[in-house]
């Protein structure tokens, strides 16, 4: 993803973000959640300090993996904390939380570029460590304390994995966000070499994507509380059409910029809704389900960017990543159709009549 200027998907970080959430989620299962969040941020900061101080590639690589493990832990636990808003507002709360990653694109791209030019890459690592320290203090002050979860059971967490609807709910996250990021990861060469946008304006397009993602996470969260399946399906269809249109229209600047913004909106509308469903399906043992939802997001990104990179170097050329994204997002419609077929979002007891409409299905979320 270096092509888009996003360094969070470099191999060590990607590995940590995939493996870290479930592993560290279980490792910290019985720790108070506020303490776990602060601890994750402390480890994140330490990893960046180590990287800033070292000149060894091996040490920097290990530090990046450490930071990724901490990041995955933070997102998994923060997802559980956000669900404290209750079933009626769970997706909305998750949307607000996840929109922080979109806000990071809006603010982080120009600030990170400026910092890298002004003080070098080591200065950027120092800045990230300092920000993590500040956020840990804010969490200590504002996140309510909870008790030690001595009754949490690893066996119960693994038992939730037997639910087919849990895996069906995670598949769209991997495919839709992975498809969107397959195109976005290589958007810079598309913009500069095919669309004809100068390199100096690329950051503004990336900020536009971030604004779209910021809108998408919040809008998806609000709609997902009422109609989760319809929201994710609509986002999938919208993202597929956007990516398909990007192939012929990327030769023109204005349509391309509009499509990039809409791609951020459609692609990022999915994670809060799907994470909410995963937590709900897991019942009283939601930690591993939330962690796997975070991992599925990163699996999709890693898979999408890898395939898109190969497509970029093939005869498909600059439009290859958008085609890869179109195929991935379209495939997400299969698990969504399966969820609809088994009425996976209903909450009626076995003796109650099954819901007969999307509104009935969504009313229990």
pLDDT tens string 271-317: 888 888 888 887 777 888 888 888 888 899 889 999 999 999 998 99
pTM for this one? 0.78
Model pLDDT for residues 158-187, shown as the tens digit of each residue: 888 888 888 888 888 899 999 999 999 899
User: Average pLDDT of 144-161?
Assistant: 71
Q: Is the dihedral of CA 200, 202, 206, 207 positive or negative?
A: positive
- Return the domain boundaries, the chain: 2-143+163-342+354-362
Dihedral sign, Cα of residue 286, residue 302, residue 95, residue 79: positive
For 102, the token pair is 């979109």
H or E, element range at 49: helix 33-53
Tell me: the pLDDT tens digits for 226-276?
888 999 999 999 999 999 999 999 999 999 999 999 999 999 899 888 888
CB under 8 Å to 53, separation ≥6 — which residues? none
Hey, is 276 helix, strand or coil?
A: helix
The CATH fold of domain 2-143+163-342+354-362? Growth Hormone; Chain: A; (1.20.1250)
Closest Cα to residue 215, out of 153, 252, 265?
A: 265
Q: Quote the mean pLDDT of the chain.
A: 81
């Amino acid at each position: 993803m270096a092509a888009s200027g996003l360094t969070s998907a470099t191999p060590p970080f990607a590995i940590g973000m995939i493996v870290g959430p479930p592993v560290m989620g279980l490792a910290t299962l019985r720790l108070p959640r506020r303490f776990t969040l602060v601890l994750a941020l402390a480890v994140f900061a330490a990893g960046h300090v180590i990287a800033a101080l070292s000149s060894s590639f091996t040490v920097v690589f290990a530090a990046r993996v450490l930071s990724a493990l901490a990041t995955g832990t933070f997102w998994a636990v923060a997802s559980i904390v956000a669900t404290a808003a209750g079933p009626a507002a769970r997706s909305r709360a998750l949307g607000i939380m996840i929109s922080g990653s979109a806000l990071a694109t809006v603010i982080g791209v120009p600030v990170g570029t400026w910092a890298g030019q002004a003080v070098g890459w080591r200065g950027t690592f120092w800045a990230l460590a300092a920000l993590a320290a500040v956020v840990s203090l804010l969490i200590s002050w504002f996140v309510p304390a909870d008790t030690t979860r001595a009754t949490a059971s690893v066996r119960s967490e693994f038992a939730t994995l037997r639910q087919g609807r849990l895996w069906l709910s995670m598949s769209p996250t991997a495919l839709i966000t992975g498809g969107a990021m397959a195109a976005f990861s290589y958007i810079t060469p598309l913009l500069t070499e095919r669309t004809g946008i100068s390199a100096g304006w690329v950051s503004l397009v990336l900020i536009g994507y971030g604004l779209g993602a910021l809108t998408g996470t919040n809008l998806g969260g609000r709609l997902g509380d009422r109609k989760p399946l319809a929201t994710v399906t609509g986002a999938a269809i919208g993202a597929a059409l956007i990516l398909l249109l990007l192939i012929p229209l990327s030769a023109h600047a204005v349509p391309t910029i509009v499509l990039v913004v809409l791609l951020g909106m459609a692609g990022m509308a999915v994670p809060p809704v799907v994470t909410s469903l995963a937590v709900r399906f897991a019942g009283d043992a939601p930690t591993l389900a939330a962690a796997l939802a975070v991992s599925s997001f990163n699996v999709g990104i890693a898979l999408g960017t890898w395939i898109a990179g190969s497509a970029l170097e093939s005869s498909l050329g600059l439009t290859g990543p958008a085609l890869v994204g179109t195929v991935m997002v379209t495939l997400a419609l299969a698990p969504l159709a399966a969820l609809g077929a088994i009425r996976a979002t209903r909450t009626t007891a076995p003796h109650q009549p099954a819901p007969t409409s999307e509104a009935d299905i969504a009313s229990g979320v």
